[in-house]
Amino acid sequence: SQQGEEDPQALSIQEGENATMNCSYKTSINNLQWYRQNSGRGLVHLILIRSNEREKHSGRLRVTLDTSKKSSSLLITASRAADTASYFCAAYGNNRLAFGKGNQVVVIP
Protein backbone atom coordinates (compact mmCIF):
# COMPACT_ATOMS: atom_id res chain seq x y z
CA SER A 1 0.00 0.00 0.00
CA GLN A 2 1.12 3.59 -0.49
CA GLN A 3 2.75 5.33 2.38
CA GLY A 4 3.79 8.92 2.47
CA GLU A 5 6.98 9.66 4.36
CA GLU A 6 7.89 13.16 5.38
CA ASP A 7 11.38 14.54 5.83
CA PRO A 8 12.45 16.24 8.09
CA GLN A 9 10.28 15.22 10.98
CA ALA A 10 10.83 18.21 13.26
CA LEU A 11 11.36 21.82 12.32
CA SER A 12 11.74 24.87 14.50
CA ILE A 13 11.70 28.28 12.84
CA GLN A 14 11.26 31.94 13.68
CA GLU A 15 8.04 33.70 12.88
CA GLY A 16 8.20 35.17 9.40
CA GLU A 17 10.52 32.49 8.04
CA ASN A 18 9.48 29.87 5.49
CA ALA A 19 8.97 26.23 6.40
CA THR A 20 9.52 23.44 3.90
CA MET A 21 8.53 19.82 4.32
CA ASN A 22 9.09 16.91 1.97
CA CYS A 23 7.18 13.72 1.39
CA SER A 24 7.74 10.60 -0.66
CA TYR A 25 5.34 7.87 -1.65
CA LYS A 26 5.72 4.44 -3.17
CA THR A 27 3.06 3.70 -5.76
CA SER A 28 0.91 5.47 -8.32
CA ILE A 29 -1.52 8.03 -7.01
CA ASN A 30 -4.56 10.04 -8.06
CA ASN A 31 -3.54 12.93 -5.86
CA LEU A 32 -1.38 13.95 -2.93
CA GLN A 33 -2.90 15.78 0.01
CA TRP A 34 -1.51 17.69 2.97
CA TYR A 35 -3.22 17.88 6.34
CA ARG A 36 -2.49 19.87 9.49
CA GLN A 37 -3.02 18.62 13.03
CA ASN A 38 -2.88 20.93 16.00
CA SER A 39 -1.93 19.34 19.29
CA GLY A 40 -4.74 17.17 20.62
CA ARG A 41 -7.01 17.88 17.66
CA GLY A 42 -8.15 16.15 14.51
CA LEU A 43 -6.62 16.55 11.06
CA VAL A 44 -7.63 19.40 8.81
CA HIS A 45 -7.27 19.26 5.05
CA LEU A 46 -4.98 21.99 3.70
CA ILE A 47 -4.36 21.42 0.02
CA LEU A 48 -4.60 18.77 -2.68
CA ILE A 49 -2.50 18.40 -5.80
CA ARG A 50 -3.56 16.07 -8.59
CA SER A 51 -1.16 13.65 -10.22
CA ASN A 52 -1.17 15.68 -13.45
CA GLU A 53 -0.27 18.91 -11.65
CA ARG A 54 3.23 20.04 -10.75
CA GLU A 55 2.60 23.00 -8.47
CA LYS A 56 -0.31 24.50 -6.62
CA HIS A 57 -0.79 27.52 -4.40
CA SER A 58 -3.32 28.31 -1.72
CA GLY A 59 -2.73 31.45 0.31
CA ARG A 60 0.64 31.04 2.05
CA LEU A 61 0.86 27.38 1.01
CA ARG A 62 2.73 26.10 -2.00
CA VAL A 63 2.82 22.42 -2.82
CA THR A 64 4.83 20.72 -5.54
CA LEU A 65 4.57 17.23 -6.91
CA ASP A 66 7.17 15.25 -8.83
CA THR A 67 5.58 12.01 -9.95
CA SER A 68 8.82 10.79 -11.55
CA LYS A 69 10.49 10.92 -8.14
CA LYS A 70 7.30 10.09 -6.25
CA SER A 71 7.81 13.08 -4.02
CA SER A 72 6.04 16.22 -2.88
CA SER A 73 6.95 19.27 -0.89
CA LEU A 74 4.90 21.72 1.15
CA LEU A 75 6.12 25.26 1.65
CA ILE A 76 4.56 27.59 4.19
CA THR A 77 5.66 31.16 3.57
CA ALA A 78 5.87 33.91 6.18
CA SER A 79 5.12 31.52 9.01
CA ARG A 80 3.08 32.55 12.02
CA ALA A 81 2.93 31.21 15.55
CA ALA A 82 -0.48 29.77 14.68
CA ASP A 83 1.19 27.53 12.08
CA THR A 84 2.70 25.50 14.92
CA ALA A 85 1.32 22.02 14.28
CA SER A 86 2.07 18.63 12.79
CA TYR A 87 1.78 18.35 9.03
CA PHE A 88 0.99 15.10 7.26
CA CYS A 89 1.08 14.19 3.63
CA ALA A 90 -1.37 11.59 2.38
CA ALA A 91 -1.20 9.69 -0.87
CA TYR A 92 -4.55 8.88 -2.48
CA GLY A 93 -4.81 5.99 -4.89
CA ASN A 94 -6.80 2.76 -5.30
CA ASN A 95 -9.57 4.35 -3.23
CA ARG A 96 -7.32 4.50 -0.19
CA LEU A 97 -5.69 7.45 1.58
CA ALA A 98 -2.38 6.54 3.23
CA PHE A 99 -0.70 8.96 5.61
CA GLY A 100 2.95 9.59 6.29
CA LYS A 101 4.58 9.95 9.69
CA GLY A 102 4.25 13.70 9.90
CA ASN A 103 6.39 16.78 10.38
CA GLN A 104 6.21 18.71 13.63
CA VAL A 105 6.65 22.41 12.99
CA VAL A 106 7.23 24.89 15.78
CA VAL A 107 7.07 28.58 14.91
CA ILE A 108 8.74 30.74 17.53
CA PRO A 109 7.17 34.18 17.97
Size of the residue set binding other proteins (CB under 8 A): 23
Q: Are residues 52 and 71 in contact, defined by beta-carbon separation less than 8 angstroms?
A: no
Q: How many CB atoms lie within 10 A of CB 95?
A: 6
Is 7 a binding residue for other proteins by CB under 8 A? The answer is no
How far is residue 88 CA from its own chain's centroid?
5
- With H, G, I as helix, E, B as strand and everything else as coil, classify residue 83: helix
Is 92 a binding residue for other proteins by CB under 8 A? The answer is yes
Q: At its nearest, how many Å lie between other proteins and the CB of residue 53? A: 12
* Closer residue to other proteins in complex, CB, 18/27: 27
Rule CB under 8 A: choose which of 20, 22, 30, 64 binds other proteins: 30
Stretch of 11-19, 59-67, 72-80, 99-107 contacting other proteins, by CB under 8 A: 99-107
Is 2 a binding residue for other proteins by CB under 8 A? The answer is no
The contacts of residue 56 (CB under 8 Å, 6+ apart) are 47, 48, 49, 62, 63, 64
Is 41 a binding residue for other proteins by CB under 8 A? The answer is yes
